Amino acid sequence: MSAKAVLLLVCFTFLCFKPLQEKTTIYSIGDSTMSNYPIEDGYPLRGWMMMIAPMFKEGVAINNAASSGRSSKSFRDEGRWKKVIDQVKKGDYVFIQFGHNDAKTDTARHTDAPTTFRQNLLDYVLQTKAKGAQPVLFTSIVRRKFDRNGMLQDTHGEYVTVVRKLAAELKIPLVDLNKKFGDLVQALGPEESKKLFLYVEPKQFERAPDGKKDDTHLCVYGATKVAALAIEGLKETGLPLAKFIR
């Protein structure tokens, strides 16, 4: 066999058995508004990260580690963060959204917005960057709480402000879901906005035999809307991740 033929054979073999390109992974850490839920019985409770995968092209893998009831403190204390950061590799992304449970009064979850909450977020950001990955901060979505004049009320206070300020200070990409989703909820108003949240009639599901009126957690439609707003915000950041968005 001639040298030229051997070279062609080697090239052909390399092309045929070239390993698949490793996917960029998006890890998400946060609370119940972001987390995964069982869907087998048709119960419509969803976290918004459950709905985001179809909005990306191939080349992106989603690892949603968000967990119901967790704060920026308890997520780390329970060892959940270590399981995530140990997997993160260069070029990956970590979506960070806390605040809903940080205001809880129990010692396992409570953080002070300008001090311990800020420090926890800072630690997540710096440890992500140390792995060569890209952190993205997300503000907490609003709760459905209107006053008598039909104006949406703020229920997160400084916890949202701290996220915005930290993102600006560190020049970390921010997706302001609190603002984006809040605008949508306000535009729909007190009655129409219910369709975004977990409102279930009695006797529909074994998990909620008496029905459910939940102004914090999302239904399928609401979670899909929030996921779309997250995608909108990611496009606005100009991150390379945007090229994978459908």
Secondary structure string (H, E, C) spanning the chain: CCHHHHHHHHHHHHHHCCCCCCCEEEEEEECCCCCCCCCCCCCCCECHHHHCHHHECCCEEEEECCCCCCCCCHHHHCCHHHHHHCCCCCCCEEEEECCCCCCCCCCCCCCCHHHHHHHHHHHHHHHHHHCCCEEEEECCCCCCCECCCCCECCCCCHHHHHHHHHHHHHCCCEECHHHHHHHHHHHHHHHHHHHHEEEECCCCECCECCCEEEEEEECHHHHHHHHHHHHHHHHHHCCHHHHHEC
pLDDT of 117 higher than 80: yes
Distance CA 241, CA 237 (A): 9
Closest by Cα among 122, 107, 236 to 179: 236
Task: Please give the angle made by the CA atoms of 162, 179 and 183, to the nearest 5 degrees.
Answer: 160
What is the rounded average pLDDT for all residues in the chain?
A: 92
> What pLDDT, on a 0 to 100 scale, did the predictor assign at position 177?
98
Q: What is the pLDDT of residue 2?
A: 53
What percent of the chain lies above the pLDDT cut of 90? Answer: 90
- Six token digits for residue 222: 């609401």
Separation CA 196–CA 208 (nearest Å): 18
Q: For the residues 41-65, what does the mean pLDDT come to?
A: 96
| Poorest-pLDDT segment among 13-27, 182-196, 220-234 | 13-27
- Check residue 16 and give its pLDDT: 42
In this prediction, residue 18 carries a pLDDT of 36
> What pLDDT, on the 0 to 100 scale, is given for residue 17?
39
What pLDDT was estimated at residue 22? 77
Q: What is the pTM of this model?
A: 0.90
Q: Which pLDDT score, from 0 to 100, does residue 10 have?
A: 39
pLDDT confidence of residue 5:
43
> Which residue's entry shows tokens 């997706």?
175
**Cα(163)–Cα(171) distance, integer angstroms:** 12
Report the pLDDT averaged over residues 99-104.
97
Burial 119-148 (b: 16+ CB within 10 A, else e): ebbeebbebbeebebbbbbbbbbbbbebee
Q: Is the pLDDT of residue 201 over 70?
A: yes
Asked if residue 101 has pLDDT above 90, the reply is: yes
Question: Residues 6 or more apart from 118 whose CB is under 8 A from it?
Answer: 162, 166
Give the C-alpha separation, 214 to 193, whole Å: 12
What residue type is assigned to position 6 of the chain? V
